[in-house]
Structure 1
Amino acid sequence: MYLVLVMMAILLFSSISKGIGSPQIWVIEMAQFTMAAYYLLGGGYSMQMDAHVRMDVFYGTWSAKRQAITDALTVLCLITYLVMLFYGGVSSSLYALEYGQKNYSSWAPPLAPIKLIMTGGILLMLLQVLATFAQNVADVLGKPFDVEQHPEETSV
């Protein structure tokens, strides 16, 4: 969450430097890199906190088992997407490291650090999605992992 503050500081610096007549060439790209890191590192956390956006037109009226089945099916699609994204991220990161890839701009920063951060964020989200899938399958089978969410399932 602190990356948003870092990005705001970078953009504030950009505004001030333009105002005093010495604009910096690196600020916009650095803000973009910071925002990409923020989004990708926050994806797994938002899945863990169940804070992602869900269309609740029909979902809210379904039984807990039907919700878990639907979640498991949609998470399978997300797992497929994230595996492909991770594969591309690893390939792109290795290329950037091997050839010293730089961005095509006047600042020309090396791209390996941000690509490694992005690939790490994708991996963290993939791990969280796998855990969410396991939890959904356990809910479908009637053996939930989280007792706090399902206190009626506990036996004394």
Structure 2
Amino acid sequence: MEGLAAAVTAIEWFNERVGRVISWLSILLVFNTCLVAVLRYGFSLGWVWLQEVYLWTHAIIFLLASGYTLLHDGHVRIDVFYGAASPKTKALINGFGTLAFLFPTLILIWWVSYPYVELSWSRLEGSQEAGGLAGLFLLKSCILAFVVLVGLQGLALLLRSILVLRGAEEWSPDFNAAPQGSAAAHSGE
């Protein structure tokens, strides 16, 4: 069980760090959005590349912070039975949901996206707009990074569930009381 706990801790530490780094892009997103609005409506100025920075930043935040969001249980959950469930029942629900829904969805996203990203890399694709940003292939690669980050966090959730089902209820995915070894316990929250 120590190996499972170590894997959970490592994955959660990694997604915690990625999420915290990516969160700084929110400042760029707000600044860029305000700048685009002021330039456009105040001075009748606009550049395609500046508008694309807004779109790209939003996409990067969404895609690369999704593992972090799953770590902190920030995704939508239909909480009919889950809230009042015991730790072992929650572990069963999380394990089943991860295996039956999350992993198949991520596999589908990878399967559909990989050729799309590969083609973009083979062409070193840039913006279709004149004056747009080069390197669109890098942005499209974030789709695959999304699959990896969310997949890793899904694996951590599955391993947590196994730990709880084996009797280590301190690893219960109760996101308000993180176990001592977890990333959330060491993040100062």
Q: TM-score, normalised by structure 1?
A: 0.82
1:40 CA displacement: 1.1
Aligned residues: 151
Superposition map of 1:58-73 within 5 A: 58-73=81-96
Q: Is the 1:37–1:121 contact (alpha carbons within 8 Å) kept by the matching residues of 2?
A: no
Structure 1: which 4+ aligned runs deviate by more than 4 Å?
147-151
Quickly say closer, same or farther: Cα 1:2–1:129, change in 2 above 3 A: same
Provide Cα deviations, 1:38-76, integer angstroms capped at 9, x if missing partner.
011111111222333322232222222111111111111
Provide Cα deviations, 1:86-136, integer angstroms capped at 9, x if missing partner.
233332222111122234333343321101233223211111111111111
Structure with more relative contact order (C-alpha pairs < 8 Å, separation 6 or more): 2
1:28 CA displacement: 2.6
Q: Write the distance in 2 (CA, Å) between the matches of 1:90 and 1:6.
A: 28
CA RMSD of aligned residues (A): 2.4
Q: Are 1:140 and 2:162 an aligned pair? A: no
5+ residue gaps in structure 1?
152-156
Q: What is residue 85 of structure 1 aligned with on the other side? A: 109
Q: Is the 1:14–1:27 contact (alpha carbons within 8 Å) kept by the matching residues of 2?
A: yes
1:10 CA displacement: 1.3
Q: TM-score, normalised by structure 2?
A: 0.69
5+ residue gaps in structure 2?
1-22, 181-189
Q: Is the 1:68–1:139 contact (alpha carbons within 8 Å) kept by the matching residues of 2?
A: yes
Percent identity between matched residues is 22
Task: Give the partner amino acid of 1:22.
Answer: L
1:141 CA displacement: 2.8
Larger mean Cα displacement after TM superposition, 103-112 or 41-50: 103-112
